Amino acid sequence: MSYTKELRIASLAVQRATILTQRVFHEKVKGTLSKDDKSPVTIGDFGAQALIIQAIKYNFPEDEIVGEEEASTLRESPDLTQQIWKLVQGARLGIDEKDSEVENELGGPLEDSDQMLNAIDAGNSAGGSKGRFWALDPIDGTKGFLRGGQYAVCLALIVDGEVKVGVLGCPNLPVDDKAPLSADVSDTGAERHRRGVLFSAIYGQGATSQPLGTDDLLPHQSIHMKTPPIREATFCESVEAGHSSHGDQALIAEKLGITKPSVRMDSQAKYGSVARGAGDLYLRLPVSAAYVEKIWDHAAGCLIVAEAGGVVTDAEGNKVDFGQGRTLAKNKGIVAAPKSLHEEVIGVVKSVLSAKRT
């Protein structure tokens, strides 16, 4: 199966959602709530999830969605619901937004706030190893989003436990694939870049990047990981120490002979950066035995890196298993590297983590 339609719809849906998220990004007040696990969620998360699920359900009505958010809080808060509804109404593709072919391709605008809430709640699939479902993170890196840093809108199609399509919308990354790796989003001086990039991949067909737009998809180009000598590699890691063990990762870099400082960046923008050769390694090592990764935090990025010539495994070198439900229950940590370097990196990762246990 080619998955050409799935990629197009996913790419357009993510592109439309970034119109909404960027409007919220540039607001001083982002309508932030705290979820049960104390992680933040914004009005942008809810609006983006509604837009993307509506597009998926219109085109693939039998597909399920594993989405990060649900609408119970909104159903108890009419004012917040209306705030999100206004954002959703304003996020449309096309020069003539009222009669846009690409907008109609996604099912057109949502009819009302009730349909919006129902769309958000349609992200309640349990996932698993059989059948088709989509993994959706409407704003990955919410803390980065709130502090004015990097974030990503992430969507992946998983079929029988294997990721087949992956799309990352990264509004604050430079369009230029050759731009130096930096978490900075300023547009002043030497760091001035056109920003907003869409990464995508179909299993077995390579990975691409293209500028984010506001109408139909813009031209794309193939992307490939670099294979530098390990000592010259640039590695990126999460900003949040609660997500990734900075100390272990610094020790691994030292043992590999890497002297460049790490680039700390929020969200799956790290996967996109590594895939196009702006960075070389992505290390996300477990902070505790109890921490379990969510599939929506990795599915799209893992495929894009793999299709760009990389290898993504857990910290033990095992395949990342997206068929275990809503979490990566069988995996601990993430290591992404070029094929030629991955075995050496995993060897050092295992050594460092083993020494901690003894």
- Nearest Cα to Cα of residue 16 among 217, 172, 192, 160: 217
Report in angstroms the alpha-carbon separations of 260 from 152, 226, 280.
25, 16, 12
Strands 195-202 and 162-174: antiparallel
Q: Report the alpha-carbon distance of residue 180 to residue 225 in Å, rounded.
A: 14
Specify the DSSP element, H or E, that contains 235.
strand 235-237
CA dist 315 and 303 (Å) reads 17
Distances (CA, A) of 239 to 13, 18, 42, 145, 283: 27, 22, 19, 12, 12
Cα 97 to Cα 145: distance, rounded to the nearest angstrom: 27
What gap in Å lies between CA 179 and CA 278, rounded to an integer? Answer: 7
What are the catalytic residues?
Answer: 45, 142
Q: Any alpha helices (H) in the chain, and if so which ranges?
A: 4-25, 43-59, 72-75, 78-89, 101-105, 113-121, 142-147, 246-256, 269-275, 299-307, 339-357
